[in-house]
Structure 1
Amino acid sequence: MTANPYSTPVMLEGSTVRLEPLSAAHVPELAEAVKDGELWNLWYTRIPTPESMAAEVESRLAQQAAGSMAPWAVRRLDTGALCGMTTYMNIKAEHRRVEIGSTWLAASAQRTLINAEAKYLLLTRAFEELDCIAVEFRTHWHNHASRAAIARLGAKQDGVLRSNELWVDGSRRDVVVFSILDSEWSSVRLGLTHRLARN
């Protein structure tokens, strides 16, 4: 059986970050990285605790095996430390679409070039290697930092899915949907390369 390239993560490396195909071997470093900022306490997002990191990695690898996710561990190159995770998810290979999501970064890696370059690497693979026609991003309405970061990439807001999910505490999650189309990739790529070169 031929592996689905959409759900097969490959090593992706830039000047500030390396995206490594996720494995169980990453668990100890990721459990340490998530303590930076105690990210699991953010009420508007779902980020694993150090204690649940092994189960989270196992879940992502199971979704990869099922063909619905391509998961990566994010390693910053200045210190060599892992600083988060990201994925292609909700893969629709027959429609040449992926969502970039289930992403978290340690507090010390936020507001650096790490996120922008990681997204640049993922978008380049999606559009130039996998021939995607669209790449989607989703975030919580109240996650203003994430919404701003997605917009800075050059993605356009498609709309808001109101009461789209029930949170663990019973509250409702309004989901903001963004996307970049293949026809927009050349201008988005230009903006990202300019942004990365300036820093």
Structure 2
Amino acid sequence: MLKPVTLRGHLVCLEPMTVEHVHDLCAAASEDRSTYGYTNVPVGLDETRRYIESALKAHLEGSVLPFVVRHNGTGKIVGTTRFLDLEVFNLPQGTSNGAIPTDDNPPSVAEIGSTWYAASAQRTGVNTECKLLMLAHAFESWQTIRVTLKTDARNERSRSGIQRLGATFEGVRRAHIPASDGGIRDTAYYSIIAKEWPEVRKNLLQKQQRS
């Protein structure tokens, strides 16, 4: 499996998620929850503990690399995000070989998701820097060829945020998975591929300077 890694920026630090983060992550999730209508965000200590344990189990299985987001200015945990759906391709054939990604055999493709922030961190520079750090790690350290981002098709706020990153809209997968509100959701898919990364990086750096 991929070893936990810390990604450091000017505004935030992405730390490997551990069970010790349960109280801080629960506190972050307990701020104003009005923006979480389409997002799976745990409620209370017990649910937050299960949320973390599930992420750590998936990491051991090789399918995710989860982080908590620490604000460098306040020192507080202000949210979480992760790499998921990690696949290694047989190149040049280009098919998934079922191998568990490792540092020596990194993922050919990845997704960034399961992202949520405390209300106090929303509409700040936190998300821009988180995406900049994660995309740089994917494309520059792993040499990943594609990063996927997806969200509930009804979540206009999330979709606008993904589009502002410079990701390309691929389409909507209908009746995809259970929704966080109890129904079945359509999922909007976006992606960034390796040749687009330099322009996306430039865009994110400009946004970072303005925030």
Q: TM-score normalised to the size of structure 2?
A: 0.87
Q: What is the CA RMSD across the aligned residues, in angstroms?
A: 1.5
Which residue number in structure 2 is paired with residue 80 of structure 1? 75
1:126-163 Cα deviation digits (max 9, x unpaired): 00000100000010011111111111111011110011
What SS does structure 2 have at the residue aligned with 1:118?
Answer: helix
Which residue number in structure 1 is paired with residue 153 of structure 2? 141
Greater helix percent: which structure?
A: 1
- Taking structure 1 as reference, are residues 136 and 21 closer, same or farther at Cα in structure 2, changes over 3 Å only? same
- Taking structure 1 as reference, are residues 128 and 49 closer, same or farther at Cα in structure 2, changes over 3 Å only? same
C-alpha separation in 2, matches of 1:23 and 1:38: 23
C-alpha separation in 1, matches of 2:175 and 2:136: 32
Greater CA deviation, 88-97 or 179-188? 88-97
Letter of the 1:50 partner, please give it: G
**5 Å matches for 1:109-124?**
109-124=121-136
Which residue number in structure 2 is paired with residue 97 of structure 1? 109
Which residue number in structure 2 is paired with residue 176 of structure 1? 188
C-alpha separation in 1, matches of 2:114 and 2:20: 19
C-alpha separation in 2, matches of 1:156 and 1:146: 14
What SS does structure 2 have at the residue aligned with 1:135?
Answer: strand
**Structure 1 regions of 5+ residues with no counterpart?**
none
1:42 aligns with 2:36: yes
Which residue number in structure 2 is paired with residue 19 of structure 1? 14
Which residue of 178, 193, 198 maps to 1:186?
Answer: 198
Q: TM-score normalised to the size of structure 1?
A: 0.92
C-alpha separation in 2, matches of 1:53 and 1:83: 14
The alpha-carbon deviation at position 167 of structure 1 amounts to 3.2
Count of aligned residue pairs for this structure pair: 193
